[in-house]
Amino acid sequence: MKWMKCSLAGILLLGLVALAGHGEGADKDKDNLMKRKLAASQKVLEGLAINDFESIAKNAEELIAISKEAEWKVLKTPQYELHSNDFRRIADTLAKNAKEKNIDGAALTYVELTLACVKCHKHVREVKWAKND
């Protein structure tokens, strides 16, 4: 179980690194949205660490709600749309795993969710860099 907590902490750190490059030049609404997303993600990790399935499900659902807000739409590219849809699908699976009290499934889904965030933030940075060239 110790290795799982260390792995989850490492994945969260990767997520933080991905989020760091996203806020550059974003307006307050987008910054606030990303802070809320990060807070909900951290609460999911906390829930995983202490076996709090209610918190995991609640915050997975909060992530889905955040992803449906207008400020979420940072880019209008097909790839961004795919990333957003993947994020919602994975967050939904995370909530389902929590409701089923499946800690292993929830933990693995959290890792998948974090990787989806990293991929999307990478895409956003690459598109923004390309526009600046």
If one compares 28 and 108, the residue with the highest pLDDT of the two is 108
H helical segments located in the chain: 2-20, 28-50, 53-67, 78-99, 103-132
Q: Which among 111, 114, 116, 4 has a CA at the least distance from the CA of 50?
A: 4
Provide the number of structural domains found in the chain: 1
pLDDT of amino acid 12: 53
Distance of alpha carbon 89 from alpha carbon 94, whole angstroms: 9
Burial of 60 (0-12, 13-18, 19+ CB in 10 A): buried
Q: How far is the CA of 91 from the CAs of 10, 34, 40, 60, in angstroms?
A: 19, 16, 11, 5
73: left (phi over 0), alpha (psi -120 to 50) or beta: beta
CATH code at position 110: 1.20.120.10
Q: 6: domain range?
A: 2-132
Q: What is the pTM of this model?
A: 0.76
Say whether pLDDT at 19 is over 80. Answer: no
Residue range 21-64, pLDDT digits in tens: 444 444 677 788 999 999 999 999 999 999 999 999 999 999 99
